[in-house]
Structure 1
Amino acid sequence: MRNELTTPRLSLRPFTLDDVDDLHALLADPLTHTIGAGPFTTVAQTEQWIRNRITAQRDHGLIWYAVHDKGTLIGNCGLFRGRAGIEIGYLIHHSRRGLGYASEAAAAVLEECRAAGIGPVWATIRPGNAPSIRIAERVGLRLARTEKGLLVYVA
């Protein structure tokens, strides 16, 4: 995968430890980080999150991108090895939601996956997360199955 992707509004690049403060502001925000165990409470958690993404890139070639709009970090989007195989995920700051940023970033990442021969790519989404379902469908993922209370989409 290429290290830098661009769309009409966004620039995407892999996270580095230099991003820890800006990323922590996103991951510690309870209105933005609503998945998993919820918002991060320490900068050390954010540092470890970045280290895990750096390791995944080194070991598997999977990149988790910092999503910037005009130089401002507004979210993230990328790939990880999940329960369904290679999965895509995305997170956009709550103040920027509903403006198409997640769809734009996810479309760019999926296009890069196709160019790099990576696939299939999955997304697991909670049934009540209607915005994430719309994003998945907007970028061409289709419902493959329901598993353990999650909707599993595939590209």
Structure 2
Amino acid sequence: MGVLSAQGPETVLETDRLLLRPWRVAEAVVQRELWTERDPRVPAHRRLDAEGRPTLGEMEGWIRDGSRTPSLALLAAERRSEGDVVGYCGLIDGALGPDEPELAFELLRRVWGAGYATEAAGAVVGWAQESGYHRLWATVRDWNVASRRVLTKVGFAETARVERDDVHGDSLFMTRSL
């Protein structure tokens, strides 16, 4: 499903409809849009605050200097035919250490339901396997049925581990052996 190509030190994955690649500073507007669209049940530190922070300038800085990205590779998801970035997918440092990263993805609402999340996640899972990882994790809020469905489609299974959260919804831990 995914093809890994090396363009310098950068990771680039290609699928039929997507190019997964490093973020460009000009695409901070997409990150900002993702933050504005987040469900109100998402914890406050992952939503815009009352003063509108993080600002677009702060997000540009994150991309420029690589800060605030606990990622092994959190890649921009660009639609190949349209040339627009519609979200991200990749691996982040997981709670269980560097040998068992977490799959993370988020797409703009306007492209939900088109299968892009499943396509991107499948490519990242394939890349993780080619990179020598033996297991991946994902955490997802119990109420996020669409993301749970994507994870199931790419081979993740729920575990017995749940972090209870009466305010934001319980976090379910899902895993996939590679």
For structure 2, the 5+ residue unaligned runs are 165-170
Match of 1:63 among 60, 70, 73: 73
Taking the aligned partners of 2:157 and 2:27, their CA distance within structure 1 comes to 33
For structure 1, the 5+ residue unaligned runs are none
Hey, which of these two has a bigger chunk of helix by percent? Answer: 1
Please, which moves more after superposition, 37-46 or 134-143? 37-46
Identity among equivalent pairs (%): 30
Q: Provide, for residues 17-50 of structure 1, a one-character-per-residue CA deviation record: whole Å limited to 9, x for no partner.
A: 242233323333346x974424343114423543
AA partner of residue 33 (structure 2): A
Structure of higher CA gyration radius: 2
Equivalent residue for 1:151? 172
Hey, which of these two has a bigger chunk of strand by percent? Answer: 2
Would the alpha carbon gap of residues 63 and 16 (structure 1) be closer, same or farther in structure 2, given more than 3 Å must change? same
Task: State the TM-score, normalized to the length of structure 2.
Answer: 0.73
Runs of 4+ in 1 over 6 A off after TM superposition: none
**Total equivalences in the alignment:** 149
AA partner of residue 19 (structure 2): S
Please, which moves more after superposition, 126-135 or 10-19? 10-19
Equivalent residue for 2:90? 78
Taking the aligned partners of 2:37 and 2:61, their CA distance within structure 1 comes to 17
Would the alpha carbon gap of residues 53 and 121 (structure 1) be closer, same or farther in structure 2, given more than 3 Å must change? farther
Taking the aligned partners of 1:34 and 1:75, their CA distance within structure 2 comes to 20
